[in-house]
Amino acid sequence: MVRRLVAALVILSFGGFSLLFAEGGLTGAFLDYGPYPRSLGMGKAFAAVSDDPQAVYFNPAGLFQLNAQQVLLAHSMLYGGMRMEYAGYALPTRDLGTVGLGILNYGGEGIDSRTPENWNYQPYVFAENAYLVSFAYNPWPFLGLGATAKLLSKNLAQYSDVGVGADVGILLQLPKPFCFGISIVNVVEPVLTLGNLPERYYRTVRLGAAVRLLDERLTVAADASTPVIPDIDSLGSPSRRYTPRPVPHGGVEFAIVPRTLIQRVGIDANELSVGLGVQKHWGKMSIGVDYAFLLHHASQYRLGFSTHKLGVFVSFGGFRVWIDAQPTIFSPTPDDQKNILWMDVRTVSRAPARRWQVLIKNGFGEVVRTYSGWDEPPLRMTWDGLDDAGRLVSDGNYYYEIVIVDRRNSSVGFTGFLTQVRSRGPQGRIEIRPGE
């Protein structure tokens, strides 16, 4: 059953695009694109993923998945000399859910302007801005509910206006390893008036599904979004009928080197995308750089150039767990009980721990020693350099994996370097002289 669901998700991610409608041409289209290279590299299929501050943009319910504070910054080159800037932030709290902030600026400068007689006129500026504030809460470990309030502004030459709107979303993490998301963008529809022309930011429904496999190294995601726009009757007036116009999005994210090097590929009705991410994690923080490269296949590549997206992220604070170990070079001697590796466990969790586990692994990823227990883990643990069978481990680098499950059945974990085992001394030379 799971294999059939995964196969169906892959087909939805990358198949059948010619049967669906393309996006574009709507007011506020920059709110249905993608703010950061990670989602853009995955074909903008993010409604069921939404595990970083981009959830403010795609599905605010996904914010409940964050355990640490995160900051995202991105710059995107767009077609026609336009560009988009993005800044996002998320703050998880212990009891009050998760808060997210987002700022988007889309526009361009020096746009050509002409009089009705086709004379050159002073170039003008076009800009759209969005200021987003989101809140997410999970009443159960597998379900997240979220909402976003937003302030929009638009400037076109000498015309400008401001409007307000709201989004809502739901994210379900059942059955494992699947996730399903739904968001309604502009559930409160903003209306901005430039001159005498009112512009309505129409409601959009986005559905998403994702599956995480291979110890969450692989993520496959598919979205479909459709604007809710009334059909036009024979007299040219809006009717009460609505025709779905689904726009597909599909993408894959794979950690080539877990927590270090991530590859992404995606497609939607307009663009093909490839992305790459490089990350560095410590116990207390993480940093990374993300890049995406997009080609406009819907135009048969006649636009003549690709677009590039670049972003950086920093993750810090929040709810974390890690181990500080001493010494960094360990020479175990089983007969000496004082010669041990000290492991100080650092934990900051949302709720009291229910159970915990620590695995010590060699450089091949093989588990050599296991520690586990109920309730809170000890503040300090020791390792004598022996495996679970009581044998001395071989020389090399060793790593740890720690996981804590709290009383709400939410887990937090971390994997990092533990120590280098070096039981042999430096190589030497024995000199034998004849006659001695």
366 pLDDT higher than 90: yes
Residues 189, 267 within the same domain: yes
Compute and round to an integer the Cα radius of gyration of the chain.
27
Model pLDDT, residue 426: 58
Residue 219 in any domain: the answer is yes
Residues 274, 351 within the same domain: no
Model pLDDT, residue 428: 58
181 pLDDT higher than 90: yes
End-of-domain residue from the set 316, 339, 372 = 316
Model pLDDT, residue 157: 80
The neighbouring-strand residues paired with 309 are 76, 292
Residue entry with tokens 């759209």: 128
Residues 241, 363 within the same domain: no
Stronger pLDDT, 292 or 196, i.e. the higher one = 292
d(CA 370, CA 364): 16
Model pLDDT, residue 436: 60
Model pLDDT, residue 299: 78
Q: Which residues contact 52 (CB under 8 A, 6 or more apart)?
A: 36, 38, 66, 70, 72, 88, 90, 313
d(CA 295, CA 300): 10
Model pLDDT, residue 8: 40
Burial class of residue 132 (count of CB atoms within 10 Å of its CB; 0-12, 13-18, 19+): buried
Poorest-confidence range of 118-132, 326-340, 406-420? 118-132
End-of-domain residue from the set 299, 316, 333 = 316
Query: What's the whole-number mean pLDDT along residues 286-298?
Result: 92
Q: What's the chain's average pLDDT?
A: 87
pLDDT digits 0-9 by tens, 329-339: 999 987 787 88
**What is the count of structural domains for the chain?**
2
Please give the residue range of the domain that contains residue 356: 320-421
Residue 430 in any domain: the answer is no
Query: Please, are residues 225 and 249 in contact by the beta-carbon 8 Å criterion?
Result: yes
pLDDT digits 0-9 by tens, 222-260: 999 999 888 777 777 777 788 888 999 999 999 999 889
Stronger pLDDT, 268 or 20, i.e. the higher one = 268
% of residues, the chain, pLDDT over 90: 60
Stronger pLDDT, 5 or 62, i.e. the higher one = 62
Residue entry with tokens 């709107």: 165
Residues 264, 365 within the same domain: no
Residue 180 in any domain: the answer is yes
Model pLDDT, residue 296: 86
Residue 410 CA, distance from chain mean position: 18
Task: With cut-offs at 50, 70 and 90, classify the pLDDT of residue 15.
Answer: very low
d(CA 35, CA 90): 15
Residues 261, 354 within the same domain: no
Residues 309, 380 within the same domain: no
The neighbouring-strand residues paired with 253 are 219, 264
Residues 185, 68 within the same domain: yes
Residue entry with tokens 């669906």: 20
Interior angle at CA 127, CA 182 and CA 230, nearest 5:
45
Q: Which tokens sit at 287?
A: 């940093």
The type of residue at 432 is I
Query: Please, are residues 63 and 194 in contact by the beta-carbon 8 Å criterion?
Result: no
The type of residue at 175 is P
Q: Which tokens sit at 186?
A: 């502009």
389 pLDDT higher than 90: yes
Task: With cut-offs at 50, 70 and 90, classify the pLDDT of residue 151.
Answer: very high
Residue entry with tokens 């110890």: 215
Model pLDDT, residue 215: 86
Model pLDDT, residue 244: 84
Residue 434 in any domain: the answer is no
431 pLDDT higher than 70: no
Model pLDDT, residue 29: 79
Nearest to 260 by CA among 404, 401, 415: 415
Query: What's the whole-number mean pLDDT along residues 22-34?
Result: 72
DSSP string for residues in 73-105? EEEEE-GGG-EEEEEEEEEE-SSS-EEEEEEEE
Model pLDDT, residue 12: 40
Model pLDDT, residue 17: 39
25 pLDDT higher than 90: no
Nearest to 137 by CA among 127, 146, 124, 125: 146
Poorest-confidence range of 176-190, 353-367, 370-384, 404-418? 404-418
Task: With cut-offs at 50, 70 and 90, classify the pLDDT of residue 213.
Answer: very high
Residue 432 in any domain: the answer is no
Residue 403 in any domain: the answer is yes
Burial class of residue 391 (count of CB atoms within 10 Å of its CB; 0-12, 13-18, 19+): exposed
| 377 phi, psi to nearest 5 deg | -70, 155
| Strand pairing class (271-281; 285-296) | antiparallel
End-of-domain residue from the set 316, 350, 379 = 316
Task: With cut-offs at 50, 70 and 90, classify the pLDDT of residue 326.
Answer: very high
Query: What's the whole-number mean pLDDT along residues 272-291?
Result: 92
Residue 153 CA, distance from chain mean position: 27
CATH number of the domain bearing residue 388: 2.60.40.1930
Residues 34, 172 within the same domain: yes
Q: Global pTM?
A: 0.82
Residues 120, 149 within the same domain: yes
Task: With cut-offs at 50, 70 and 90, classify the pLDDT of residue 20.
Answer: very low
Residue 151 in any domain: the answer is yes
Residue 429 in any domain: the answer is no
CATH number of the domain bearing residue 243: 2.40.160.60
Residues 139, 182 within the same domain: yes
Residues 109, 218 within the same domain: yes
Q: Which residues contact 427 (CB under 8 A, 6 or more apart)?
A: none
Residues 136, 266 within the same domain: yes
